[in-house]
Structure 1
Amino acid sequence: MKKIFLNAFLLFFVSYSVIASSIVAVVNDNPISAYDVENRMNMILLTSRIKRTEENLSDLRNKVIEALIDEKIKLEEAKSNGISLNDDEVNNAIYKIEQQGKMEKGLFRTFLEMNKVPPLTIDNFIIPDLSWYKLVAKKFSNEAIISEAELNAEIEKIEANFKKDRNLISEIFLSVKSEKDEAKVKQKINNIYKELKDGADFGVIAKNFSESITSINDGNVGWVNVGSMEKPLEDALKDMSVDDISKPIRSMYGYYILTIKDKRKAYEGVERLYSISRIVYEEDKEQEILDKVNSLDKKTCNAFNDYAYSFKNESGEMIVSKLEDFPEEFKTVIEKMKTFDVSKPFEFDDKKNILMYCKDETKFPIPDREVIRQAIASSRLEQIANRYFRDLKRNAVIKVK
């Protein structure tokens, strides 16, 4: 009997030891196992083309453990606030990933299983962040109400950016904290560059290896005006085309690798509408018409337009998107005019013409006001969420083994 009890105790002790040794971190009594870490690493390696070098695996393991810790905190907080997800929400999020990878709907889990990665690894990756976003929206939506003044200011900013050359940039950044780190960091960034040139996914590399805050968004910096970045970065960007990947760039604080996702020239896509009012008449009535035009209120085009339409011919308002689209005779006259100026009579198609420059309107290709409002609100919610999460993590009990 004692022998049976001893064997049972030893079996329990060995099992407990194996389980305990497989725990790599504990977050508020919630364990993270080596199995969790391995599955996440395998999924990342499988979908990113990152090579399984000793250095890559070590760096990736640390990043994955940190990510799993953050996810435990987010999921615990979401659950404590009554947040839950249904299957459709999870499946739709996975479908977006499948679309990005140009994969047929519903095949991602199968793809993982075929490569000996548990299919639910992708669910475990998606559920914490999806739950967190629902929680943040539930708790803080009232703090992200955007006023008309804020909306108008943002629209002005967007329009101003259309007047400059811009690049849509993503980055990978490794910091150099001291001289003794220089050689090691340089070697590491060169290895990352080689991985990228061999086909590794830029966004996945940025998410798992970059030290910049943009790693949260796969390294996406967003639209950046040409000339607004540090000189070594600008020097590299000026010779790059869309989808090019820069060689490692030494900056003041470390090394960057940049890629350009898109480029826009100043005023690209911007439409300028010219509104000109025109009176067409026979020469024998010129003095009578000039006297009438001189008597009109010229603070707006209204009176001139009304008079022009009274001729019941081709007289009236002309709206043209480009100055070059006007007949050459008109263009020569309009180029010398300012708003509400009235031209001297000139000939066109054997008839006399008088023009009034009503306005020119710059039409920027920007989204609808409500779309912009939602984007500002989302950005504000993200800032609130970051502060909220920092407080949660500061107060969490985290033990990494």
Structure 2
Amino acid sequence: MRLRSLTLACSLTALTLGPVAHAAPHSGHRDATTAASAADKKPRPDDTIIAVVNSIPLTTRDVENRGKLFALSTGLPVSGELMDRLRPQIIRQLIDERLRTQEILSRHINTPPEQIAAAIAGIERRNGMPQNALRDRLAQDGVSLTTLIDQIRVQIGWVQVLRQELGARGRVSAKEIAQREDALKRQDGRTEYNLSEIFVKVEDPRHSEDELSFTNTIIQELRKGAPFPIVAAQFSQSQTALDGGSMGWVQEDELDPAVISMVKQMPVGAGAISNPIKVPGGFVIITVNGKRVIGHQPGHVITIRQAFLPFDAPLNPEHVTPQQQQTLQKAVKIAQTVNSCEAVAAINQQNGEKRPSDPGELQLERMNPQMRSLLEGLPLNKVSRPLVSTDGIDLIMVCSKKEKNFADRSPSEIADQLMNERVEQTARQLDSDLHRKAMIDMRIKLKGV
């Protein structure tokens, strides 16, 4: 049985989604004004030590690089104000990562460079970037590649730690799956929700004002358009952060009463962001991705193959290059002559497979209206019209269509949910133990650490 899959690589794909332009982001956390305003009015050397975690220093350079990486990945502008708001929470996260790294090393867990390189190559591939383009993009924006490598290494290694910690509990038995299936059958007809969360931990329940301020800052930026999965991956302190905050489908009795009270008031699938919800241990932010009646959610699933023909330069409609003209002619010919999904996949491979030939099963009901309209009316094994974008031309073929009851959970989906519940509980307990045993010397004032 696998643990929750890593999605850091997915969460960082926004690194390539265009120029930085949005709002100012997240964080107004503990002493963002005390630690950042008073001390930060004067420029600090890059290598000023902020904290020492079990003899390992944490420097200003570490914090600034992580802040730049976050801003770059969310499309937020890097500014002094942004860094002041991010800094306290980034420090907490980097302390957590230092503790996790030390635990990874103490267990002699090694993350091969090839695995990290594959994760970075995956980011580039999903975004149609040439090899090493991500390194160049980070350098252009003043972000050390080491910052990204360190984050990937800790996430991969931490999953290995949790596997060891779970031991025999790292497998879900057929009996446990059957018990959950029976429980779901008894709830047939009740409502369940597909939710995503961002959890902000409160260290001292008697003084939670700064965590509440930070939570409200996150909410403001999410409502301005910051991508929820990326913000969750960077800042949520729940294990669901590894999955972009996704909780999957949950029933009302699995949720805190305060959460379900808020969820019932929220629109579904509209990207609405909740107000801060106080729960045991901290605050949570919720968005509702879906709602259904248990046992009843009809829909339509399709499989497709796509071929992407890249341009040699960004398309300017007023100055089309000869290569772009030739690419369009080639796309038109393919649309007229190709009649099998295998052929479309082969063409995509011949053109560098900048986008995946087979993105897996897709639910029509969850697509944007334009794409849904295109694919609903497209006969099987017929190539779509050329879909022109600034970086190339996409051609899509529908390989299969079928109806499906999305409320039916497969045994593997149930096993994943059970395992994720165990992983979450184990991760929180282990994080708590690491903090309890740690020697953390703060060189700046930061409450709650």
Aligned to 2:153: 127
AA matched with 1:90: I
Helix, strand or coil: the match of 2:114? helix
How far does residue 251 in structure 1 lie from its aligned partner after superposition?
6.5
Of the candidates 34, 51, 65, which is equivalent to residue 39 of structure 1? 65
Whether contact under 8 Å (1:249, 1:256) holds in the other structure is: yes
Verify: 1:89 aligned to 2:115, yes or no: yes
- Deviations 1:157-194, CA, capped at 9 Å, x for gaps: 34455632222122456799999988x88876665444
**Pairwise CA RMSD of aligned residues?**
4.2
- In 2: Cα distance, 1:113 partner to 1:28 partner: 31
Aligned to 1:199: 225
> Residues 380, 181 of structure 1: CA spacing in aligned structure 2 closer, same or farther, 3 A cutoff?
closer
Helix, strand or coil: the match of 2:57? strand
1:72-111 alignment runs, 5 A limit: 72-94=98-120, 102=127, 104=129, 106=131, 107-111=133-137
1:226-375 alignment runs, 5 A limit: 230=257, 234=261, 237-238=264-265, 240-246=267-273, 248=275, 257-269=285-297, 365-367=408-410, 369=411, 372-373=414-415, 375=417
- In 2: Cα distance, 1:208 partner to 1:29 partner: 25
1:23-34 alignment runs, 5 A limit: 23-34=49-60
How far does residue 137 in structure 1 lie from its aligned partner after superposition?
2.1
> Residues 31, 162 of structure 1: CA spacing in aligned structure 2 closer, same or farther, 3 A cutoff?
farther
AA matched with 2:267: M
Verify: 1:394 aligned to 2:394, yes or no: no
When structure 1 is superposed on structure 2, of 134-143 and 391-400 the one drifting more is: 134-143
Whether contact under 8 Å (2:194, 2:248) holds in the other structure is: yes
AA matched with 1:395: K
- In 2: Cα distance, 1:28 partner to 1:397 partner: 5
Count the aligned residue pairs: 291
- In 1: Cα distance, 2:94 partner to 2:421 partner: 24
Whether contact under 8 Å (2:198, 2:285) holds in the other structure is: yes
How far does residue 57 in structure 1 lie from its aligned partner after superposition?
2.9
How far does residue 84 in structure 1 lie from its aligned partner after superposition?
1.0
- Deviations 1:7-27, CA, capped at 9 Å, x for gaps: xxxxxxxxxxx9896111111
When structure 1 is superposed on structure 2, of 129-138 and 18-27 the one drifting more is: 18-27
Whether contact under 8 Å (1:60, 1:208) holds in the other structure is: no
Whether contact under 8 Å (1:232, 1:249) holds in the other structure is: no
Whether contact under 8 Å (2:266, 2:288) holds in the other structure is: no
Helix, strand or coil: the match of 2:111? coil
Helix, strand or coil: the match of 1:84? coil
Whether contact under 8 Å (1:63, 1:208) holds in the other structure is: no
How far does residue 237 in structure 1 lie from its aligned partner after superposition?
4.1
- Deviations 1:227-279, CA, capped at 9 Å, x for gaps: 966478646644513132146367699976532222323432479xxxxxxxx
In structure 2, stretches of 5+ residues that fail to align are 1-43, 300-404, 444-449
Whether contact under 8 Å (1:172, 1:219) holds in the other structure is: yes
How far does residue 395 in structure 1 lie from its aligned partner after superposition?
1.3
How far does residue 83 in structure 1 lie from its aligned partner after superposition?
1.3
Comparing both structures, which one devotes a greater share of its residues to helix?
1
> Residues 94, 376 of structure 1: CA spacing in aligned structure 2 closer, same or farther, 3 A cutoff?
farther
Aligned to 1:318: none
In structure 1, stretches of 5+ residues that fail to align are 1-17, 272-361
- In 2: Cα distance, 1:364 partner to 1:194 partner: 33
How far does residue 123 in structure 1 lie from its aligned partner after superposition?
0.6
> Residues 95, 158 of structure 1: CA spacing in aligned structure 2 closer, same or farther, 3 A cutoff?
farther
- Deviations 1:76-107, CA, capped at 9 Å, x for gaps: 222232211223321333356567x8564754
When structure 1 is superposed on structure 2, of 123-132 and 223-232 the one drifting more is: 223-232
AA matched with 1:42: K
1:118-197 alignment runs, 5 A limit: 118-138=144-164, 140-160=166-186, 163-172=189-198, 191-197=217-223
Helix, strand or coil: the match of 2:145? coil
- In 2: Cα distance, 1:84 partner to 1:223 partner: 34
> Residues 161, 117 of structure 1: CA spacing in aligned structure 2 closer, same or farther, 3 A cutoff?
farther
AA matched with 1:243: A
> Residues 104, 76 of structure 1: CA spacing in aligned structure 2 closer, same or farther, 3 A cutoff?
same
- In 2: Cα distance, 1:46 partner to 1:195 partner: 14
- In 2: Cα distance, 1:263 partner to 1:155 partner: 19
Whether contact under 8 Å (2:193, 2:288) holds in the other structure is: yes
Helix, strand or coil: the match of 2:291? strand
Helix, strand or coil: the match of 2:408? coil
- In 1: Cα distance, 2:84 partner to 2:406 partner: 52
How far does residue 75 in structure 1 lie from its aligned partner after superposition?
1.6
- In 2: Cα distance, 1:208 partner to 1:179 partner: 26
AA matched with 2:93: A
Of the candidates 91, 107, 110, which is equivalent to residue 65 of structure 1? 91
AA matched with 1:365: D
How far does residue 386 in structure 1 lie from its aligned partner after superposition?
3.4
Verify: 1:48 aligned to 2:90, yes or no: no
Percent of aligned pairs sharing the same letter: 25
> Residues 395, 53 of structure 1: CA spacing in aligned structure 2 closer, same or farther, 3 A cutoff?
same
TM-score normalized by the length of structure 1: 0.58
